[in-house]
């Protein structure tokens, strides 16, 4: 009898797409027995575990299709290496109020200070909290939009950049854009305005965006929408990429000094 019932529970669980329950029924029952669980407690355990497993699967899938270059977190970020950066500003963003408010954040500074790291960490946190996310560099987005436009698919490609709750727009300003390219960026920014968040990184000050977008009026129109609701975080410090190399160079210089002195 009980074998019949467990077989039926497994089959029903599979049909209801509760694979964790289907696969772990015996384990669940053993734990319920061992802990002498009541009905409510048991049902709670089964539902909680199923939900946790589904959440993990959703997050893994969302991260895979988000094109994030890595999945580093803010815990991986060493704030002591950037004393000019106020950790509270970043931690406030990590509350994800920005995603709820559909407002933006701009991380500005020279190469290697962790702009992409922080933007990705915030996006990954947003993903865990249930927001949809997507990563692109500005240049790649422009290339994709132009290619789509050339075959009459601009609108659908544009949606890929407009739809996600949180878009990481990395490396704004690395290459100057032609006018038609800048126009595509303007379209994207306008469509997202007050509809979704952008986390952008740039090595250029906003005052240089006229050169980046090849047109002061267009750059002003882009900045107007972008900055209306935007947390601006400037990181002006040493490159973390050079951290180990610089200390290695310092160490070998020291060794050379010691050798010379000896
Ligand atoms: P940026 O986008 O500003 O050029 P990245 O975010 O790509 O810099 O950082 C370069 C590398 O150094 C990455 O591997 C990043 O994880 C790491 N990194 C940068 N800053 C820090 C930091 N303060 N603590 C830990 N790792 C860092
Ligand atoms: Mg970067």
- Domains recognised in the chain with CATH numbers: 3-65 (no CATH), 74-242 (3.40.50.300)
Q: Are 219 and 209 in contact (CB under 8 A)?
A: yes
Q: Are 231 and 98 in contact (CB under 8 A)?
A: yes
Q: Which atom of ligand 1 is least distant from the CA of 117?
A: 6
Q: Counting every residue, how long is the chain?
A: 262
pLDDT tens by residue, 101-145: 999 999 999 999 999 999 999 999 999 999 999 999 999 999 999
SS3 of residue 182 by DSSP: helix
**Cβ of residue 174 lying under 6 Å from some atom of ligand 1:** no
Q: What is the pLDDT of residue 247?
A: 66
Q: Which residues surround ligand 2, an ion (CB under 5 A)?
A: 116
**Cβ of residue 241 lying under 6 Å from some atom of ligand 1:** yes
Q: Strand order of the sheet with strand 197-202? A: 133-137, 166-172, 197-202, 104-108, 230-234
pTM of the model: 0.89
Q: What is the pLDDT of residue 253?
A: 66
Token pair 């709750």 in the structure block, residue: 165
Token pair recorded at residue 261: 């002195």
**Cβ of residue 78 lying under 6 Å from some atom of ligand 1:** yes
**Percent over 90 (pLDDT), the chain:** 90
**Cβ of residue 91 lying under 6 Å from some atom of ligand 1:** no
pLDDT tens by residue, 81-92: 999 999 999 999
pLDDT tens by residue, 13-50: 999 999 899 999 999 999 999 999 999 999 999 999 99
Nearest one of 169, 186, 168 to 177, comparing CA atoms: 186
Q: Are 204 and 105 in contact (CB under 8 A)?
A: no
Token pair 């290695």 in the structure block, residue: 248
């Amino acid at each position: 009898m009980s074998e019949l019932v467990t077989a039926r529970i497994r089959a029903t669980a599979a049909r209801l797409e509760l694979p964790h329950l289907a696969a772990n029924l015996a384990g669940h029952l053993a734990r319920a027995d061992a802990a002498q669980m009541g009905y409510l407690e048991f049902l709670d355990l089964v539902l909680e575990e199923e939900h946790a497993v589904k959440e993990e699967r959703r997050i893994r899938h969302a991260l895979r299709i988000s094109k994030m270059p890595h999945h580093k977190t803010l815990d991986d970020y060493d704030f002591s290496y950037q004393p000019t950066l106020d950790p509270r500003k970043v931690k406030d963003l990590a509350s994800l109020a920005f995603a709820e408010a559909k407002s933006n954040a701009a991380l500005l500074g020279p190469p290697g200070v962790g702009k992409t790291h922080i933007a990705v960490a915030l996006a990954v946190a947003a993903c865990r909290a249930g927001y949809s996310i997507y990563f692109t560099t500005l240049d790649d987005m422009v290339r994709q939009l132009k290619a789509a436009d050339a075959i009459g698919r601009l609108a659908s490609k544009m949606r890929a950049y407009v739809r996600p709750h949180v878009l990481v727009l990395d490396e704004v300003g690395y290459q100057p854009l032609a006018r038609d390219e800048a126009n595509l960026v303007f379209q994207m920014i306008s469509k997202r305005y007050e509809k979704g968040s952008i986390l952008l990184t740039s090595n250029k000050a906003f005052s240089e965006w006229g050169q980046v977008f090849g047109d002061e009026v267009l750059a002003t129109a882009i900045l107007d929408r972008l900055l209306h609701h935007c947390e601006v975080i400037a990181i002006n410090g040493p490159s973390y990429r050079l951290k180990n190399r610089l200390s290695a160079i310092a160490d070998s210089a020291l060794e050379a000094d010691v050798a010379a002195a000896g």
